[in-house]
Amino acid sequence: MRVLATLLATVALPLFPVAAIAAGSHGHGKHEHGATTSGEAGDPARVTRTVTIRMSEYAFDTQSLAFKAGETVKFIVINNGKLKHELTVGTAEEQKAHRAAMQSMSDMNHDEHSHDMPANAIHVNPGETRELVWHFTKAGSLQFACNYPGHSDLGMEGSISVK
C-alpha cells in the first residue's frame, strides 16, 4: 500500500488526497485502524453514553450534540424517511472529503458494499435502525451529516462540541 501511495504522490489526483487513498478510504478522512482526526471506532463494551438520532428527508431530529473527550458513544440511528441516508461524524474537512467522494459516485447505490466505508460513517436504509459506536479522543468542534449528494445542503447536518 505504501508503494501505491508513493506512486500516486507523483500523479495529480484532484479529488482524493494521497493519504486517504493509502488508508483505503476513498478520501473520507480515515487513517490507519479506523481512526480519523475526530476520533476512532469505539469498543461497544466501553460505551459510556447512548444517543438516538432520527432522520427523515433532509432532516435530523437534533441539530447539536455535546460530548466529553474520552467518551465512547453509541449512536442509534433510525431512518424514518423514504430515502437512504447516512450519518457521518467528523471535522468539517472530513465531511467535505466524504461529501466529494459520495458526489463522485454516479448513482445513489451508496452502501458499505459499493465502496470502502470510513469508520465514522454508516448508511441507513428507509425504515432501518443502525448503530455507530464512536470514541471521541480529543476536544474540538465536529459535525454530523448525511453526505448523500445535496442532503447536507438541504439541512441534514448538525454540530458536535467535544470538551
Round to the nearest angstrom and report the end-to-end CA distance of the chain.
35
The pLDDT, as a whole number, for residue 98 is 87
Distance separating alpha carbons of residues 67 and 72, to the nearest angstrom? 9
pLDDT, tens digit, 9 for 90 and up, residues 50-69: 999 999 999 999 999 999 99
Domain 36-162 coded CATH 3.30.750.200: no
Query: For position 33, what pLDDT does the model report?
Result: 40
Reported as a pLDDT band with limits 50, 70 and 90, residue 35 is: low
- Decide: helix, strand or coil at residue 90: strand
